[in-house]
Every structure is written in C-alpha cells, then in structure tokens.
Amino acid sequence: MKKIIFGIALLSCVVMRGQVLEDVIKPTKFGNGILNFKGADDSWSIKMGARMQLLSANSWLYDDGDLLDHTSAALVRRYRLKFDGYVYDPKIVYKIELGMSNHDLSGAHESTKYAPRLVLDAVIKWNFVENFVVWFGQTKLPGNLERVISSANLQLVDRSRVNKEFTLDREFGIQLRHHTNLTDKFVMRERIAIAQGEGRNVAIDNTGGHHYMGRIELLPFGLFEGKGDYVGGDLKREKTPKLMLSSTYSYNVDAQKNKGSQGLYFSDIDEMYEGVTTDVKSFFVDAMFKYNGFSFMGEYAKRDAGNMLVRVGDGLNLATGYLFKSNWEVAGRFTRVDLTDRELRDEYTLGVSRYVVGHKLKIQSDLTYANIAKVGASDDLSQLGFRVQVELHL
C-alpha cells in the first residue's frame, strides 16, 4: 500500500513538473531557436539559437592569361550562438550573438587586450515611448544596407567587395530609432547613433574621437512582408511592389584606422603614424525593391579623409535575382570599387541558390569574374572564383 501511495505521489509530481516545464519551455519550429524559455511570471524570456555556414572556395589569379596563383579553402565560415528575449518588461529587449569560428574570432590586437573577438552583439533595446527605441551596447551601426542584412539571409554566398571596403560594421555606442507613418502606407524611419569609433570589442581607453552617423529610410508602398527589406531575395513573393530608399552619413572624428572605424590602425601600418588621427567621412545611398519573386538591391558608397593611409574612394553594388516557385533562385551582381590612387576593381557574379527551408536551410553557389587594375601596374589582373556554401540555422 505504501508503495502504491508513493508511486501515485511520484507520478503526481512528474505531471505537475511537466506542466510547469510546459509553461516555462515553449516548443519552437525549425529555424526559430533551439530552446525558448519564459519566466513563470512573464518577467523575462530567452530564445537560444545556433547557425553555421560551411564553405568551399577556389580562386584563380591571372596576369595576361598566365596563371599566377590558385588558392583552395574549405572551412567553417561562420558558427554563431544567438540569444535574445526581454527582461522586466516586453519593451526592454536584448540580443547577444557570439562568433565561435576562427574567422569570427580573428583580429586579436592590443586594442582588444590580445583576446579573441568573441562578442559580435551585446545590446539592450528599450522602446521607452511610442515609436522611439533607444539601443545601448555593441551591435551593427545603421550603415550600408548589405551589412545590416544578416549574413544568414544573404542572396549570394557572401557580401560584396563594396561592403568589405566601406562598411561601418559593429561598434559600442548608443542609437536612437524612430518611425513615422506619413500616410496609411508611406513609412519613414530615422536612426541616429554615436559610437566609439574604433570597431568592435575594443577593451582599452578610447584614444581617438567618436563616430557620429544618421540614416533615413523611406518606404512609400508600405512595409515589406516579414521584414523583407533586410532579407536577400524575395522569399515572401511580395504580392504588391515594395520599395525602400535610404541614405546614411557617417562622420568619424579623429579616426585611427585606414577604413575609418574598420581596418588597420595607422601605427600598425607604419610606426611613424603612432598617435596620428584624421577625420573620416562616409556616405551611403541604397535601395531595395521586391515584387512577386523578383528582387533588386543597389548601393553606392563613398569615403573621404585627409590622411593618405585611409582607403578613400567610392563603390557601386547592384544585385538582382528571381525566385522560382520551386524555391530555386538565380541571382546576379555587379560590383565596382574605385580606391583612389590604389586600384579599380570590377566584379561580375552569378549565383544559384536552393532554399530548402528559406534562409534557415539552404545551399548556395556563385561564380565571380574580377578585373583588377592597380595604379602603377603595366597590366591588369583578372581573377576567377567559385564558391559553394551550406547554411543551417537552428
């Protein structure tokens, strides 16, 4: 009898515990996080996710038809852990993203106390009144469109050469974001930010100035479905035309790197530039259009500075694609980067993607031909590259 009573009591505890776990742990669909916890009193939540990109790449460099170099690589391009949720109030949300691959961790420097650059995002966002949200912490700046699109949601295997040269990327700072409905459909979004000015994971005193920027976005035909203005390709197959026109201006005061807030410190390029700073100005104009499987993204970037070590110049990035109902997509991209007194590079890319479960599980490949004219060189160089990548996002 005692064993029966004990068994009933134990079973009751398991059932009750199961009910508590069901209330706290929410089941998720594939691609929407590994686990989703919520406090019993609704005072907090956390969603945990992970994703990886497995890349195989080959590149051939030619000089007047003669093969100069061939490189081949197979690597974990990205492996990341993501956490987000809210605390205390659903209007106070947070995001944490850690980069675990060697590529993400690279870049240890005196400014990071020679530690791997593990943290990508660590930011708190507070919707403190109506349409105003303040962000505080390290995260992506409101810069060029292609950078703000997650690397998990790209239309091609990776971002363009324009992004590599001119992006503002991530920094620690404060951002104020606001949106206004000008009409029933027309939406205007504004972002202003002040950041440290030297990139992510800086762990020493700020020895330069600060980084100031503002961005405005116009959506005359209304919001994209599923935030598609920041997703590559028209996977939602917009039923009506959607357009975003946007522009960013960035002013980095007393910058110490050859790409403004990114790149190499001047002193690492030449010791004689130890302690030297310069003001760097960047300007971006970009657009996103989608309709019924067709997509187009365009970006123009320009950087100017008074120090000859800064990589100044401008770039143009145009990408378009069409998603078939079979979830195969064909995309093309033209990129031009003109670095003043350095080089002029044109790249032509053709890509094919198979979306198994949207951007959460996909296989992508692309072929790129580049023509490279270096200042002072007698001949132009040409480069051919082929890449295949698998993306898995839990």
CB-CB neighbours of 210 under 10 Å: 17
Provide, for the chain, the percentages of residues in helix, strand and coil under a 3-state DSSP scheme, each rounded to the nearest 5.
Answer: 15, 55, 30
245 lies in a domain?
Answer: yes
302 lies in a domain?
Answer: yes
Q: How far apart are CA 126 and CA 135, in angstroms?
A: 7
Furthest-apart CA atoms within the chain: distance in Å: 97
pTM for this model (two decimals)? 0.90
DSSP H or E segment with residue 12: helix 2-24
228 lies in a domain?
Answer: yes
Query: Any idea what the CATH number is for the domain that residue 244 is in?
Result: 2.40.160.10
Q: How many domains does the chain have?
A: 1
The DSSP letter of residue 223 is: P
How are beta strands 278-291 and 242-255 bridged, if at all? antiparallel
DSSP string, 64-99: TTEEEEEEEEEEEEEEEEEEEEEESEEEEEEEEEEE
- What is the extent of the structural domain holding 123? 28-49+78-352+372-381
87 lies in a domain?
Answer: yes
63 lies in a domain?
Answer: no
Q: What is the pLDDT along the chain (394 residues), one digit of tens a residue?
A: 455 445 444 444 443 444 445 555 667 788 888 889 888 888 999 999 999 999 999 999 999 889 999 999 999 999 999 999 999 999 999 999 999 999 999 989 999 999 999 999 999 999 999 999 999 999 999 999 999 999 999 999 999 999 999 999 999 999 999 999 999 999 999 999 999 999 999 998 887 789 999 999 999 999 999 999 999 999 999 999 999 999 999 999 999 999 999 999 999 999 898 889 999 999 999 999 999 999 999 999 999 998 889 999 999 999 999 999 999 999 999 999 999 999 999 999 999 999 999 999 999 999 999 999 999 888 899 999 999 999 999 9
Q: Which residues contact 354 (CB under 8 A, 6 or more apart)?
A: 327, 328, 329, 362, 363, 364
179 lies in a domain?
Answer: yes
Q: Which residues contact 322 (CB under 8 A, 6 or more apart)?
A: 293, 294, 295, 329, 330, 331
pLDDT at 206: 82
9 lies in a domain?
Answer: no
